[in-house]
Structure 1
């Protein structure tokens, strides 16, 4: 069985879907009787790229100013995809994003979430138009649709009117680099960032409205001045806000060192940043899965999170839940985890145990079973 997997997303710095493509590819290659062909956007290849395309962010920024840029890029990618198919005997095509390329054969797609439905304001207008132009027809074309969680599976079935058996849940896994680490082992990396292990809170994720970062910022601001100075809030993710756009409260917190915005970090550094955190805050309004929650639990770090969308499926009883509109509640939860060692150890123990239930091997096994079912095997 030979499967073409669209890995074009790896041209960009790796965020959620990029991590999915990398980890799934590595796990699928351990499945017997399965060969993967990777389409990388401009060419085909056997190897996963170790770095994003040089200058990707600058090119993307320039493309946003070109009318019809998304359609032009899609035409170029389709042409490259078609040329490569002429030299490959591909049985099935797997698309991990919202807009599959044209393929004259069986197709499986992964819908990680329905952000474009629930939060269309977070998408550039031209990108949203392309999603709406392609995603409905793509779902109709797909023999099976994979999702990361039961929550999204239910949304997909209802929104697109799909039968139960066409939507399959393949929960994500956690990379081996996320595990408990002695604080002294983190000293070199953290000191270079001006941090001390166990003495900061962390938020991880691309900075956009649905991530609800304001909740974490407001909750942190409600802590006493001495606590805020001794326990800064560290924000890690692709830049979404510029300093001049921040309100006066946050500007003051940044100036005082109470909030640190570290931007995008490499996989290795991120794993150490999470392992060294006192608590992970995950204030999101909507998630298809919530990988940082799983990564924190696997690292032995307690999580304060909102009880929204798929997040309870991931954290289970290991998380400390708060309302997505309640900064006071999140602030109290932080304070409890700082002061109540019994609660902290309970969250740590339950989180480590909970994380064992998720693996990329399981995700790959479910995915390859879907491939075989689609191909009649």
Structure 2
């Protein structure tokens, strides 16, 4: 099978969907029956870009000020895609996110979540209009629809009226760089940040309201002074939509000296930060999967999280679940897991066991089955 994968998203700094695409590509390449052709927007290649495209941020800024920017870029993409797909004799097209390009042959699309439905205000107005205009017809013509969790599969069926047999759940996996590490393996890289292994709490996620990072700030602020000093809160992630809405609380927390904003981290640094954390705090209100939760468990780090959307499917019995808005409950759970070594070890062990249920090989196997289903459609 010669598969065209739309890899344009790899032009941007890699967050969840970018990581999904990179890992899926590597896993699919282990199948001798799959030949991948990657469309990057400007052209085609069989190589995965090693970093975000220089100037990508300029496009994002330009799109805010140029009328019909998304439509213009899409028309250019469509022209280049058509020309390359014809030359490469593509058997099937896989769109890994939201709105597929036009293709006369079989098509599979991955729909990771319905953020555009539940949080439409997080999308630029022009982009949201394009999503709303195109996603319905795209779902109709897709031979198979992939998603990361049963929760999102059910949402797709209920909201868009898609038949359940057309949706396949392909849970994500974790990369080999996410694994437990001994303290001596981490001291060098963490020393550059003035950190000790096991001596900090970590949040991973874009700074935007849906991620609910303010919950972690408030819970941490309620800790006794000695614990706040002993376990500072680190936030790894780039600024996103409406991060200004909790800017005052964030600035106050940063001024206290017990909270640090690390910004966007490289893949390797994030893996080391996770492995060195005492806990991952993941209070997100809506996730199609929640990749940092799985990566933390695979690294031997217990996770405190909200029992929202798809998160219980990922963390299973290993997660410490708390209600959104329960600042005191989050605070008490942190205290319990930093002070009670036996409880920490119990959740660490359960997390390592839970993580073994997920792999990119399994995700690729289900994806390949979706390709075959679409080809027979």
Distance (Å, rounded) in 2 between the aligned partners of 1:247 and 1:32:
50
Q: Which structure 2 residues correspond to residues 157-236 of structure 1 after superposition, within 5 A?
A: 157-236=157-236
C-alpha contact 1:122 1:209 (8 A) present in aligned 2: no
**What's the offset of the Cα at 1:256?**
2.7
For structure 1, list consecutive stretches of 5 or more residues without a partner in the other structure.
none
Q: Which moved more, 1:90-99 or 1:232-241?
A: 232-241
SS of residue paired to 1:93: strand
Indicate the residue corresponding to 1:93 in structure 2. Answer: 93
Indicate the residue corresponding to 1:300 in structure 2. Answer: 300
Q: Which structure 2 residues correspond to residues 206-355 of structure 1 after superposition, within 5 A?
A: 206-240=206-240, 246-355=246-355
Distance (Å, rounded) in 2 between the aligned partners of 1:4 and 1:243:
36
**What's the offset of the Cα at 1:271?**
0.3
Distance (Å, rounded) in 1 between the aligned partners of 2:27 and 2:105:
24
Q: Which structure 2 residues correspond to residues 20-169 of structure 1 after superposition, within 5 A?
A: 20-169=20-169
**What's the offset of the Cα at 1:348?**
0.4
TM-score (structure 2 length as normaliser): 0.97
For structure 2, list consecutive stretches of 5 or more residues without a partner in the other structure.
none
Deviations 1:207-249 (A, max 9, x none): 2111111111111111112211221111111213799765544
C-alpha contact 2:142 2:374 (8 A) present in aligned 1: no
**What's the offset of the Cα at 1:172?**
0.4
Deviations 1:290-345 (A, max 9, x none): 00000000000000000011000000010100001211111111011011111101
Distance (Å, rounded) in 1 between the aligned partners of 2:88 and 2:249:
57
Indicate the residue corresponding to 1:376 in structure 2. Answer: 376
SS of residue paired to 2:22: helix
C-alpha contact 2:187 2:197 (8 A) present in aligned 1: yes
Say yes or no: does 1:9 pair with 2:9. Answer: yes
Aligned CA distance change for structure 1 residues 179 and 24 (closer, same or farther; 3 Å): same
Aligned CA distance change for structure 1 residues 347 and 87 (closer, same or farther; 3 Å): same
Deviations 1:189-223 (A, max 9, x none): 21212222111111111121111111111111111
Aligned CA distance change for structure 1 residues 218 and 78 (closer, same or farther; 3 Å): same
SS of residue paired to 1:86: helix
**What's the offset of the Cα at 1:123?**
1.6
C-alpha contact 1:243 1:251 (8 A) present in aligned 2: no
Alignment length (residue pairs): 377
C-alpha contact 2:209 2:241 (8 A) present in aligned 1: no
C-alpha contact 1:202 1:277 (8 A) present in aligned 2: yes
C-alpha contact 1:304 1:322 (8 A) present in aligned 2: yes
Distance (Å, rounded) in 2 between the aligned partners of 1:39 and 1:222:
49
C-alpha contact 2:201 2:233 (8 A) present in aligned 1: yes
Distance (Å, rounded) in 2 between the aligned partners of 1:129 and 1:218:
35
**What's the offset of the Cα at 1:255?**
2.0
Distance (Å, rounded) in 2 between the aligned partners of 1:250 and 1:153:
35
Distance (Å, rounded) in 2 between the aligned partners of 1:107 and 1:194:
49
Q: Which moved more, 1:42-51 or 1:76-85?
A: 76-85
Aligned CA distance change for structure 1 residues 91 and 127 (closer, same or farther; 3 Å): same
Distance (Å, rounded) in 2 between the aligned partners of 1:218 and 1:241:
20
Deviations 1:85-125 (A, max 9, x none): 12111110000111100101110000000011111122222
| RMSD, aligned α-carbons | 1.5
